[in-house]
Amino acid sequence: MAAHRSGPLKQQNKAHKGGRHRGRGSAQRDGKGRLALKTLSKKVRKELSRVDQRHRASQLRKQKKEAVLAEKRQLGCKDGPPHQVLVVPLHDRISLPEAFRLLQDKDTGTVHLNEWGSTHSFMLLCPRLKHRWFFTSARPGDLHTVLDMAKVADTILFLLDPLEGWDSTGDYCLSCLFAQGLPTYTLAVQGVSGLPPRKQIDARRKLTKTVEKRFPDDKLLLLDTQQEADMLLRQLANQKQRHLAFRDRRAYLFAHAADFVPSEENNLVGTLKISGYVRGQALNVNSLLHIIGQGDFQMKQIDAPMDPFPLNPRMMKSQKDPSMAMEICTPDAIADMEEDPKVLMKADSDKQESLQTEVIPDPMEGEQTWPTEEELSEANDFLKKSPRLVKKVPKGTSSYQAEWILDEDGESSGEDESDDMEHEDFIEEESQDEGSEKEEEEEYETMTVGESVRDDLYDENVDDEAEEKMLEKYKQERLQEMFPDEVDTPRDVAARIRFQKYRGLKSFRTSPWDPKENLPQDYARIFQFQNFTNTRKRIFKEIEEKEVEGAEVGWYVTLHVSKVPVSVYEYFKRGAPLIAFSLLPHEQKMSVLNMVVSRHSGHTEPVKAKEELIFHCGFRRFRASPLFSQHTAADKHKFQRFLTADVALVVTVYGPITFPPASVLLFKQNSNGMHSLIATGYLLSVDPDRMVIKRVVLSGHPFKIFTKMAVVRYMFFSREDVLWFKPVELRTKWGRRGHIKEPLGTHGHMKCSFDGKLKSQDTVLMNLYKRVFPKWTYDPYVPEPVPWLKKEISLAVPEMDME
């Protein structure tokens, strides 16, 4: 039997390379105990058993539960600040005095009334619940008061109408509060008991559907009887607290009392004494204090007087009426008991933050120094060596003026005589004797050879009147198309002068642009971080880990604020709330703020860039003129002339440094004095290097089309403009790209080359770019708005919660 022989298609396997292979054991012996870098840097994960994993998860749950309980117990207890509740009626039919009457029950606890101006407030001390509340109120029409008091309130109590829930004013107020960031809130309905019994169930069912649009999965509480008021108080005391990030990292204070001591030099400026409870973080006397709507100030000292509203006050029974024991304990009586409060901390001039907001620019910085003697001697030697040229100039021309006289080709004649003879484009012959100097008219003999032989013939066929009519038609067509960023080339000013600050880019996304190039003078006044993100992380880490010396959270203190105008005290006496926030390092300095905003759906009027708007950024309120730009991840961002309604844009303004997160609200003051909400968003960054690039599109029409060549007109109107913009790339609406070859004639026609054949209905475009900067119109003073009317408020509102 013959043996099997493999054919030509037999599989051939690779031979084993045993000699080159090195096993793991030999590699370890050669390494002599050394480990790779990845092995050393890799974090060792300790494997836990199932029992240990369950135990660890149980410990984490227990820690979180204890933290929530500790936060609940601290708020409103004897060692913590009172539980501040802001009561906001959302309908005109709601009776605010009736709601306060139910909450001010003598059986519940002690009530301390406090009335300043139109704002009513009272302190409720309840030893039975081991809790104390501070109730304040604000009408939805007074927008600034509602937003300012919501920044420091622990809980907002919304009072709803049983039939409609809220009216248009209340809806507008909710829109602003959602955009700013809601703290803990509770919904209460007033007036259900006044309806017929058959309609109460239907009213509650309809109200629940209405409320679900804004407050999903929230229960409605009733506030018509004393029993329902007690249930509401228990709900407020046991509710889980929601946090607002911009106030949790700063110390803030709501003024319960204030006093003004004028200075000796000027009665209009003095020391303002603000008394209240410290909240958020511990308050250091060396930090700066920002009073909302008034500005930044320094503190002299912090006093620690006796708490005027202790949870368990000392009983001072009256001899006439022992039942009035709980109501006699007033802040004035306690203040009389302790005339000299304890000085807690005084400011240290070496450690105190400065009030400097801007950099004082040096006008001589970067200027050229005076030249040395060696440089002057070198310049003189160079002038002696340079040949003297013979020029034909008008009479009375000095030697300095003769240097600036241009030849016919537009170039200066500061070259050698031998070089001029080599050029064949321009030839000048001088024929003038010494005796002809007194002649009034000067004779010039010049011969010019153009770039194209057909230039003179080309201009003969141009009809100026037809060109004007055709141009007007194309302008009307452009207006119908509404092409973005397209502008008309001016005819009274040369395009090279009108657009001299613009440049062309090969690619808007990838072409380089130096952020430090051609900065305005205002950039010398602002501060810039070397790395804003790292600075923010470092400051926030110090807040969490480092212990601050000063007034602890929950202490009742008196702040001595220096150099405060008397108008701030008068503002407080009129009934307006006085709220102070401590500033983090660098937050008093000016820089460039970038904010991401979305247009409010209820605002339909166009908002143009560089219009003056009112900003609510975190705890600050100011006026500025912003720029709008696209929100992209690139290094260059295209300027937007209007605030668009479909996409989010970035707003760029000059303003004081604020570390995000912080909510942003944009208002526009109308001619009648009211403020209308136009956009909401959040603070993105503090970065002066963020480049906002404005685009201008010049358009032209193909006049004659060849294979890949075309004659384009109406983009420019002079030969010099065509030569000036010749290096800039062209594009068309249908995707062709090209460049200018040469000008034709003197009317701005030009010969262009493209990467494909053009269509007759196509349009030739040229993109020009320049960097734009915001205007310095920052003003910390914002006038009080006129209260809103129901008819002038829009209903549709986007909801945003900055938590």
Residue 684 has pLDDT above 90, yes or no: yes
566 is a domain residue: yes
Average pLDDT over residues 52-77: 82
Residue 75 has pLDDT above 80, yes or no: no
In this predicted structure, what is the pLDDT of residue 67?
80
Question: Phi and psi (nearest 5°) for 386?
Answer: -70, 135
Average pLDDT over residues 388-412: 59
| Residue 737, beta-bridge partner list | 731
262 is a domain residue: yes
In this predicted structure, what is the pLDDT of residue 405?
63
* Three-state secondary structure call for residue 295: strand
536 is a domain residue: no
- Do 218 and 262 lie in one domain? The reply is no
- Do 144 and 227 lie in one domain? The reply is yes
304 is a domain residue: yes
Average pLDDT over residues 764-786: 89
Higher pLDDT, 197 or 221: 221
Q: What is the pLDDT of residues 581-626, one digit of tens each?
A: 999 999 999 999 999 999 988 887 888 888 899 999 989 999 999 9
In this predicted structure, what is the pLDDT of residue 560?
93
- Do 76 and 219 lie in one domain? The reply is yes
In this predicted structure, what is the pLDDT of residue 66?
83
- Do 169 and 229 lie in one domain? The reply is yes
Domain end position, chosen among 205, 221, 238: 238
Task: Give the range among 84-98, 103-117, 240-254, 731-745 with minimum mean pLDDT.
Answer: 103-117
CATH code of residue 93: 3.40.50.300
Residue 424 has pLDDT above 50, yes or no: no
516 is a domain residue: no
Range 755-759 contact pairs with CB under 8 angstroms and sequence separation of 24 or more:
755/708, 756/708, 757/705, 757/707, 757/708, 758/702, 758/705, 758/710, 758/732, 758/734, 759/734
In this predicted structure, what is the pLDDT of residue 35?
64
- Do 135 and 214 lie in one domain? The reply is yes
635 is a domain residue: no
Domain end position, chosen among 208, 238, 268: 238
- Burial class from Cβ neighbours inside 10 Å (0-12, 13-18, 19+) for residue 300 reads middle
Higher pLDDT, 781 or 35: 781
Q: Which residues contact 772 (CB under 8 A, 6 or more apart)?
A: 627, 639, 692, 693, 694
- Do 249 and 231 lie in one domain? The reply is no
Domain end position, chosen among 238, 272, 297: 238
Task: Give the range among 22-31, 262-271, 322-331, 642-651 with minimum mean pLDDT.
Answer: 322-331
Range of the domain at 277: 245-310+342-349+551-586
Residue 313 has pLDDT above 70, yes or no: no
Q: Which residues contact 435 (CB under 8 A, 6 or more apart)?
A: none
Roughly what angle, to the nearest 10 degrees, separates helices 96-103 and 226-238?
80
- Do 172 and 228 lie in one domain? The reply is yes
Task: Give the range among 282-286, 290-294, 332-336, 603-607 with minimum mean pLDDT.
Answer: 332-336
Average pLDDT over residues 643-655: 90
412 is a domain residue: no
Q: What is the mean pLDDT of the chain?
A: 79
Residue 649 has pLDDT above 90, yes or no: yes
In this predicted structure, what is the pLDDT of residue 364?
65
Peptide bond into 162 cis (omega under 30): no
- Do 275 and 291 lie in one domain? The reply is yes
CATH code of residue 501: 2.40.10.190
Q: What is the pLDDT of residues 2-32, one digit of tens each?
A: 677 777 788 888 877 666 666 777 777 777 7
CATH code of residue 565: 2.40.30.10
Q: What is the pLDDT of residues 212-248, one digit of tens each?
A: 888 887 888 888 888 888 888 888 888 888 888 888 8
Q: What is the pLDDT of residues 542-562, one digit of tens each?
A: 888 888 888 888 889 999 999
Average pLDDT over residues 291-298: 90
Q: pTM of the entire structure?
A: 0.72
Q: What share of the chain is helix, strand, coil (3-state, %, to 5)?
A: 25, 25, 50
Alpha helices in 373-511 (DSSP H): 373-385, 399-403, 417-422, 455-460, 464-481, 495-498
pLDDT > 70: percent of the chain: 77
For the CA atoms of the chain, what is the radius of gyration? 39
- In b/e form, how buried is each residue of 343-352, taking b as 16+ CB within 10 angstroms? ebbebeeeeb
Q: Which residues contact 288 (CB under 8 A, 6 or more apart)?
A: 296, 297, 298, 299, 353, 355, 582, 583, 587, 588
- Do 257 and 224 lie in one domain? The reply is no
Tally of domains within the chain: 3
Q: What is the pLDDT of residues 164-189, one digit of tens each?
A: 888 888 888 898 999 898 898 999 98
- Do 200 and 82 lie in one domain? The reply is yes
Tokens 């008394």 belong to residue? 275
Task: Give the range among 279-293, 367-381, 688-702 with minimum mean pLDDT.
Answer: 367-381
91 is a domain residue: yes
- Do 164 and 251 lie in one domain? The reply is no
- Do 256 and 131 lie in one domain? The reply is no
Residue 210 has pLDDT above 70, yes or no: yes
